Structure 1
Amino acid sequence: MAIFLNSDSKVIVQGLTGSEGMKHATKMLASGTTIVGGVNARKAGQSVTVNDRDLTVYGTVAEAMTATGADVSVIFVPPTFAKDAVIEAIDAGIGLAVVITEGIPVHDAAAFWAHAVATGNTTRIIGPNCPGIISPGQSNAGIIPADITDTGRIGLVSKSGTLTYQMMYELRDIGFSTAIGIGGDPIIGTTHIDALAAFEDDPDTDVIVMIGEIGGDAEERAADYIHHHISKPVVGYVAGFTAPEGKTMGHAGAIVSGSSGTAHAKKQALETAGVKVGKTPTETAEHARELMAETPRPHGGH
């Protein structure tokens, strides 16, 4: 198994005909993802060839879903049009919308998230400003390199794209059930807690790795959730121990005010909840390796 994305997932790409959409659709197809079409209202009815495969471009997400049975959309639409693209995916009722686009204004992200909540829609949003989600050996929705790891029994959820890649590479010999980059913007869809809950329920995940960063209180809330609801071993890492106070570091959500949101405060909260927190990504990977060695494998597992 895996969480949110598996070998049965049928993926469409909003923005398929753009340079980023085409480039990453090519890589997704090469890694085994079932891409069934694209969406671009201005190029509806056209066909594009990606990796020797002809993909139809539909006018709307709803049309694409009706024609192909798609249940996942990966969104590469430029920031100016991203809000409308996500709302379109939500209104069509797609199961998972992976918003890769960087630089979406916060009020636009707030608008499409509020729209999802207000309409009671069940669309799961990952992102924005994220690398996406991969269940190695099954499907890859986004820009995560598929060749840096293998399938296995570690679940990974991370705010940082580059640290997602580094952790996957460090633990490539053990492998992952699913790895999710949730994005570092102030307003995101799927949270650490959402992923933790899903990994807890996934019979093919034995150990969970959670990567956070300075700013906000998401990691503190995740620590509280782990304390009360997670029985599987969790390893953590918090990026930003050396960040100067009051400065935004890379991600729009990574800003510290006073003592709130510091890496030290987050590390303390996680350790209080029983999480082994590494001082570096490599040390974090070693903690995960140790816990995997200690965790009994289910019969027939990897």
Structure 2
Amino acid sequence: MAILLDKDTKVLSQGMTGWAGTHHTAAMMEYGSTVVGGVRPGKGGRSHLNLPIFDGVAAAMSETGANASIVFVPPATAAAAMIEAIEAEMPLVVAVTERVPVLDMVRVKDALKGSRTRLVGANSQGVLAPGVCKLGVMATGSERPGHVGIVSRSASLTSEVVAQVSAAGLGQSTTVGVGGDAIHGFSMRDCVELFLGDDDTHGLVLIGEIGGYEEQEVADYLAETKAQKPVVALVVGAHAPRERRMGHAGALTFGAAGDAAAKVAALERAGVRIAPSAHLVGRTIAEALGRTH
């Protein structure tokens, strides 16, 4: 059992006919994900990767039964693609597009209010349920089915941690990249809440970094709910300079509350185990679960 994805997930690829859409949609299909069609305005009625292309999301959902979409649309029009999916009541939307303008994402967040859509991203590597469904652009090969849920703000660190968790013999229930931008949809707290309610997830790994307050929100939630599942966190950026963007739009510290030390302190107060280094995350979650390797 995974969160967000299952064997019945039917994927629509928005922007599938472009280079990125073609490449990554083909990779998802090769992995075993059920991709049922693509969306590209003006190209409806054609086919690509032996799948039908539609002019709009609503028509594609009606024809294919799609219940998830992934957005490969360029930054200037990515928000419009997300909003179209939200208005069509697509249950799950993953937006991998980077550098979506901040004001555009404000409009997307407004469209999400009261909607039936869960939006992961923008600037997300996606969601992966090993052996079940890949909805994203992440590398695969080291993932294994298992019982550790991973929620992350960093794509590269996610790959490292997945490999460590697999090497520890634990595997993953689901891996979720919430998105590296300052404004995005599905939050770390939202993800942690789903993992805590998932019987197949026995422990969680949280990969945080400087900027924003999402890690503190998770800490507050864990302290409030007194979660019984072990949670391990890695927070990077301890030596990052202030007021300088580090890697992507969300990794930017202005005040003390957004730095690594404040995040670590908040998580520790909530009972979260802090991995002392990036290369020790797998060992730390194994110890938390009473497993050794």
Q: What TM-score do you get using the length of structure 2 for normalisation?
A: 0.96
1:287 — aligned with what? 284
Aligned partner of 2:71 among 70, 75, 98: 75
Choose 284-293 or 171-180, whichever is displaced more.
284-293
Counterpart CA distance in 2 for 1:243 and 1:191 is: 23
Indicate yes or no: 2:55 matched with 1:63: no
1:6 — aligned with what? 6
2:243 — aligned with what? 246
1:97 — aligned with what? 93
Counterpart CA distance in 1 for 2:5 and 2:45 is: 27
Deviation at 1:290, TM superposition (A): 1.2
1:24 is paired with a residue whose SS is helix
Deviation at 1:294, TM superposition (A): 5.2
Counterpart CA distance in 2 for 1:258 and 1:137 is: 41
1:218 — aligned with what? 214
1:149 — aligned with what? 143
1:264 is paired with a residue whose SS is helix
1:232 — aligned with what? 229
Q: Partner letter of residue 118 of structure 2?
A: R
Deviation at 1:204, TM superposition (A): 0.4
Q: Deviations over 1:82-140 (max 9, x none)?
A: 011001000100000000000100110110110121xx211000000010000011001
Q: Deviations over 1:264-294 (max 9, x none)?
A: 1111110111000112222222111112335
Identity %: 41
2:179 — aligned with what? 183
Q: Partner letter of residue 93 of structure 2?
A: A
Q: Partner letter of residue 91 of structure 1?
A: E
Counterpart CA distance in 2 for 1:111 and 1:78 is: 17
1:36 is paired with a residue whose SS is strand
Aligned partner of 1:264 among 240, 261, 266: 261
Q: Partner letter of residue 147 of structure 2?
A: R
- Which ranges of 4 or more aligned residues in structure 1 deviate by more than 6 Å? none
1:130 — aligned with what? 124
Unaligned residue ranges in structure 2 (runs of 5+): none
Choose 68-77 or 280-289, whichever is displaced more.
280-289
2:272 — aligned with what? 275
Aligned partner of 2:84 among 84, 88, 105: 88
Counterpart CA distance in 2 for 1:140 and 1:294 is: 27
Q: Partner letter of residue 123 of structure 2?
A: N
1:39 — aligned with what? 39
Unaligned residue ranges in structure 1 (runs of 5+): 296-302
Counterpart CA distance in 2 for 1:263 and 1:116 is: 29
Counterpart CA distance in 2 for 1:34 and 1:95 is: 16
What is the RMSD of the two structures over their aligned residues, measured on CA atoms?
Answer: 1.2
